[in-house]
Amino acid sequence: MSLRIDQVTVLDPAPQGPRIREDVSVVVDEGRVREIGQARPEADRVIEGGGDLLVPGLVNAHGHAAMTVLRGYADDLPLQPWLERAIWPVEAHLTGDHVHAGARLAAAEMIEAGITAFADMYLFAEDVARAAEEAGLACLAGASIVDQPTAEGRPEEVLANTKTLLRERPPGEGRVRASLAPHAVYSTSAETLETVAELADEHGASIQIHVAETMQEVYEAEAEHGLRPLAHLDEHGCLTERSILAHCGWMTRAEAERVADAGASVAHCPTANQKLATGGTTPVPELLAAGATVAVGTDGPASNNRIDVLQEAKRAALTHKHHRWDAEQLPAGQALAMATRAGAHALGFTDAGRVQQGAWADLALLDTDRPHLRPMHDPVSQAVYAARGGDVRTTIADGEVVYHEGEHERLDVGTVVADAEQAATDLVTEAEG
Amino acid sequence: MSLRIDQVTVLDPAPQGPRIREDVSVVVDEGRVREIGQARPEADRVIEGGGDLLVPGLVNAHGHAAMTVLRGYADDLPLQPWLERAIWPVEAHLTGDHVHAGARLAAAEMIEAGITAFADMYLFAEDVARAAEEAGLACLAGASIVDQPTAEGRPEEVLANTKTLLRERPPGEGRVRASLAPHAVYSTSAETLETVAELADEHGASIQIHVAETMQEVYEAEAEHGLRPLAHLDEHGCLTERSILAHCGWMTRAEAERVADAGASVAHCPTANQKLATGGTTPVPELLAAGATVAVGTDGPASNNRIDVLQEAKRAALTHKHHRWDAEQLPAGQALAMATRAGAHALGFTDAGRVQQGAWADLALLDTDRPHLRPMHDPVSQAVYAARGGDVRTTIADGEVVYHEGEHERLDVGTVVADAEQAATDLVTEAEG
């Protein structure tokens, strides 16, 4: 089914700054952008843009989608007590069905916020992958690998599940792809990391991992391995051009350069870091100066508590301006690129994150017809500093309109919400009972 | 006209923590909340809450509403170049009509974000007051007083306008009240501050002022007056229990105690401070510990770039958790109180900022029937960390439904937007031409 969107302002986040094209039509067919310009060829469906802003579908570079079921379950606690006292005891009771229900709720939320691709690491990754597929979203799904038994099984069972996922959803193909996802250096042994590295190499797969999220993690790695987490990962083959390093709040300038040299990507998660008070500030200016890819991630909905990549981009901009006492850090165009093009690059969805002829037709249309987005002096500023996920009028994933003017066109959102609520109730009852 | 809202969860931000009442009806008549409970007396209009969250109308404790016309006009610049090169040259061409149009646009935006009261300091304050009145909002309006001529006139003319406003919209009466608004210690002389203090005393009026926004301001005050800005204000009679001190990013612990001792209020504006990279961090934990009133403000829409008090409360919580490496700072209930009860207290609207029998019927209903607000483990967490202005389903101001399900019921929003866009175009054309 072909689609034409008329009279939009296209914001394409090119590396040298956003390219703005006003009052154009965008033609979509077979999941790709076919044409951008004045031509208005016939199409099966036409959406009147009315001057709205068309941006690439947003990319969430780090998260745990299924944790929607624990949104608001525990807040205002530091990371370790939050994990140990609140989150882990509940997660011990997780099933694949809970994860599927939670991830579908997250998918609905993401779609409403114009997010069309997400990286995910969690238990029961196949259930996350299935939820993404049902929703039409692109997804890099990895089973969270730790050296302890989890609700998903013993470590060898999780590894077997990972291998199955790698076979069934091969990296580099399709919209829903398997990934490796070792949890962190403090929760996986060197041997596990090497197994991960071999599998990643064999399958051409991405490696998602939490890195230098807390000061404690860095100190413990230095004490135990004589190396900071990044060097330890490198030593065991996990720092590759397909690595997605989440957080990196406690990272030195030299490490930033090492990330860039390796061609790895960082998923910057300012909201979750600040809410959990992990301290540190990801050296985003140094990473960018060194040429590293820096994307943004919302982390899980229990530590944010919302999945809104556009807002995360704004928070990233504010965080680094504030941290450096320098208002010129992370200007709006750069923040927009982090939320789109850089995210797509990090996840390996190289045809996404752009509004260009031939690119994936993963797009978000921002409704500019509201008081808070008027007047329109600067569309890029408007998209980053004034708009939010909630301003998305239309979300297009793989060329399909999945959401338009408040209505889902693919997901049965009533069922999605009801199933997730039931999963949340069952899970908490079981954990607390 | 009476109103009944059925089946809502009421969040009332009491000082000792929010009081939650589930599945109640709220009855409103003659601008006041008459009843909260199980009774469902007849009413002229009934809104089905369906489990939605009812919070007090949000209060914006610091802003320059008319600056909507400059939203996105200049970004990613430090405060002084931003003011000197971008904002002031345009503001030199302001007229009362521009201000009226800009403030009406802000009013529409605020209403959509559940904001029912705002403090404002800007040129042509009577035009701001008029816009607030037309929109049904409560407003504390002050003409920005500086020792230089502005587009409003020479200092003595602005002072005369202030006196007129104080007579026509007496403080302590009605919903739209005059206030004093000396701009800052670096832009007003000691003599001006004393004139302001006398007028405030005579009329029982509030004093809005920017305080310790930048390090430079503090250093210059120390060099020129031998006093930091707060002490200088106190010396000249402007530190009173009706003072609303905006920003306070460069404030010591001793100053925080002095604010509390004076019974003054602080309007904390984390987004604008971070976007303009003014450095410093308002000592909110110290202010709260000392017993001061701390509210939140969005500042002007050109430095935020959105007027969303709920989001500002979340950012306040994140900022102080991050700054102290302490996730227990500013828990959700406290952030909600800052955005409502504390704001109402700061502005002197003592019957607002609560959902209680007898209080002003200034209320915001948050639509919880969206994926991002499910499941509902904790309604307070949900309101602060997951909801935003955009989730407001209904805004009630002075007992009147002014906005419901995406539609304005009082303002003609098409005209409001068109007038503001015309004002923005005229203004920028004149300034740049």
Q: How confident is the model at residue A185 (pLDDT cuts 50, 70, 90)?
A: very high
The stretch B388-406 carries a mean pLDDT of 98
**Fold classification of A58-347 (topology level):** TIM Barrel (3.20.20)
Q: What is the rounded radius of gyration, in angstroms, for the C-alpha atoms of chain B?
A: 20
* B113 contacts A327? CB cut-off 8 A: no
Residues contacting residue A227 through CB under 8 Å, at least 6 positions apart: A221, A235
Q: How confident is the model at residue B221 (pLDDT cuts 50, 70, 90)?
A: very high
pLDDT at B433: 81
Residue in A310, A331, A319, A336 with CA at minimum distance from that of residue B274? A319
pLDDT at A416 over 80: yes
The stretch A220-234 carries a mean pLDDT of 98
**CA atoms of A29 and A20, how far apart (whole Å):** 22
SS3 content of chain B, % helix, strand, coil (to 5): 40, 25, 35
ipTM of the complex: 0.97
Question: What residue has token string 């250093």?
Answer: B219
Please give the residue of chain A at the shortest CA–CA distance from B304: A385
- Show the tokens assigned to A390: 């909630």
Q: CATH 2.30.40.10 in chain A, residues?
A: 3-56+358-408
Cβ atoms of B105 and B420 closer than 8 Å: yes
Residues of chain B found within 8 Å of residue A75, distances taken between Cβ atoms? 331-332, 378, 381, 385
**CA atoms of B197 and B203, how far apart (whole Å):** 10
* Cα dihedral value A416, A418, A422, A425, nearest 10: 110
**CA atoms of B431 and B224, how far apart (whole Å):** 33
The stretch A191-213 carries a mean pLDDT of 98
DSSP code of A360?
B
pLDDT, tens digit, 9 for 90 and up, residues B62-77 = 999 999 999 999 999 9
**Fold classification of A3-56+358-408 (topology level):** Urease, subunit C; domain 1 (2.30.40)
pLDDT at B162 over 90: yes
Instruction: Express as a percent the part of chain B with pLDDT over 90.
Output: 96
Cβ atoms of A257 and A290 closer than 8 Å: yes
The stretch A106-113 carries a mean pLDDT of 98
Q: CATH 3.20.20.140 in chain A, residues?
A: 58-347
**CA atoms of A76 and B93, how far apart (whole Å):** 47
**Fold classification of B3-56+359-408 (topology level):** Urease, subunit C; domain 1 (2.30.40)
Q: How confident is the model at residue A315 (pLDDT cuts 50, 70, 90)?
A: very high
Q: What are the CA-CA distances from residue A40 to residues A26, A37, A399, B268 (Å)? A: 8, 8, 17, 50
pLDDT at B14: 81
Burial string for A281-317 (b: 16+ CB within 10 Å, else e) reads: bbbbbbbbebebbbbbbbbbbbbbbbbbbbbbbbbbb
Residue in A267, A202, A201 with CA at minimum distance from that of residue A240? A201
The shortest CB-CB distance from A374 to any of B76, B375, B421 is to: B421
pLDDT at B79: 83
Please give the residue of chain A at the shortest CA–CA distance from B214: A325
Question: What residue has token string 């000392």?
Answer: B290
Cβ atoms of B117 and B352 closer than 8 Å: yes
pLDDT at B38: 97
pLDDT at B405: 97
pTM given for the model: 0.98
* B318 contacts A275? CB cut-off 8 A: yes
Q: How confident is the model at residue B80 (pLDDT cuts 50, 70, 90)?
A: confident
Nearest CA-CA distance, residue A372 and chain B, Å: 5
- Show the tokens assigned to A303: 């530590």
Please give the residue of chain B at the shortest CA–CA distance from A415: B371
**Burial (CB count <10 Å: 0-12, 13-18, 19+), residue A188:** buried
Residues contacting residue B31 through CB under 8 Å, at least 6 positions apart: B360, B361, B398, B399, B400
B395 residue type, one letter = T
Inter-axis angle of helices A190-203 and A155-168, to 10 degrees?
A: 10
pLDDT, tens digit, 9 for 90 and up, residues A342-378 = 999 999 999 999 999 999 999 999 999 999 999 999 9
